[in-house]
Amino acid sequence: MTPKKEKDTEEKTESKYKKRVDGRKFDELRPVEAKIGVIPEADGSAMYKSGNTIALAAVFGPRTLHPQHMQNPKTGILRVNYDMMTFSVSERKKPGPNRRSQEISKVIEWALAPCIDLSEFPNSVVDVFIEIPQADAGTRVAGINAASMALAHAGIPMKEIASAIAVGKLDKSLVVDLSKEEEDYAEGEGATDIPVCYLSRSKKISLIQLDGKISSEELKQALELGKKACEEIYKIQVKALKEIKE
């Protein structure tokens, strides 16, 4: 970069990221598929596919919580378990939970907790299991979208639906629903990944994380973009839930 360019204000320099690799518009989701009841043994289940990312979610409960010392006599609790299958990524992942999957399980739990009301089920637990058979970025948000549908399918009392999306900043351009290739974008300011989860009724944000660099102004725009995308996802979730045949 020449010294002259460095003096330019941010607004003046144009983003190097002008066109998405897969031809999508900046605010366009990857092709979505949503299906309910994919795991008959579970009390509720769903599959959410976004482009090449697939998430399966199964819900069990409310059921008695073990170990007993974790029981809450005032309300039931939500417990989320997220993991990726060994063959979901290019280089085989070691089986079983790791630090990453445990952290993601916890943030998904926090993202879903405000949606449900377990006060009628003291001492019990609602277990949510999320598995990723095929990963191409955005696995935690796909997991949330699947889990949210599975909770509704299980008949858990719900106040609202959680819908989530990863918003990204590639150099200076804001885009939604990053693919792995986009996540690895390294030119200009590089890639910033912002998974967000919106609640359908209260419009509150129940999950937000960020990896990268962004200005507060851009972040506000990113949230707005995320909100629009989540409204679209919410419609897809509701449509899938209405199609249940049982």
Which residue has 């949606």 as its token pair? 115
User: By CB under 8 A, is residue 40 in contact with other proteins?
Assistant: yes
Kindly write out the interface string for residues 108-127 of this chain, putting x where it contacts other proteins by CB under 8 A and - elsewhere: -------------------x
Question: Are residues 32 and 50 in contact, defined by beta-carbon separation less than 8 angstroms?
Answer: yes
**Shortest distance (Å) from residue 60 CB to other proteins:** 5
Interface with other proteins includes 176 (CB under 8 A)? no
Q: Which of 87, 215, 220, 235 binds other proteins (CB under 8 A)?
A: 87
| Cα gap 44→155, rounded to integer Å | 8
Single out the residue of 95, 78, 99 nearest to residue 144, CA to CA: 78
Check residue 67 for interaction with other proteins (CB under 8 A): no
Token look-up 């989530």 returns: 164
Q: Which is nearer to other proteins, 114 or 133 (CB)?
A: 133
The residues near 64 (Cβ < 8 Å, ≥ 6 apart) are 123, 124, 125
**Does residue number 89 form part of the binding site for other proteins (CB under 8 A)?**
yes
Pick the stretch among 55-63, 110-118, 138-146, 170-178 that binds other proteins (CB under 8 A): 55-63
**Residue 246 CA from chain centroid, whole number:** 27
Residues with Cβ within 8 Å of residue 84, at least 6 apart in sequence: 93, 101, 131, 132, 135, 139
CA distances to 53, 63, 86, 142, 147 from 163, rounded to whole Å, are 16, 25, 26, 9, 10
Taking the complex as a whole, how short is the minimal distance between the CB of residue 130 and other proteins, in angstroms?
A: 8
The smaller minimum CB distance to other proteins, of residues 179 and 192, is found at 179
155 binds other proteins (CB under 8 A): no
Determine which residue in the list 18, 25, 92, 159 makes contact with other proteins, applying CB under 8 A.
92
User: Is residue 131 part of the contact set for other proteins (CB under 8 A)?
Assistant: yes
Phi and psi at 33, nearest 5°, equal: -130, 130
Residue 135 binds to other proteins (criterion: CB under 8 A)? yes
Say whether residue 193 binds other proteins (CB under 8 A): no
List contacts with other proteins (CB under 8 A).
39-42, 52, 54, 56, 58, 60, 63, 81, 85-92, 95-96, 127, 129, 131, 133-135
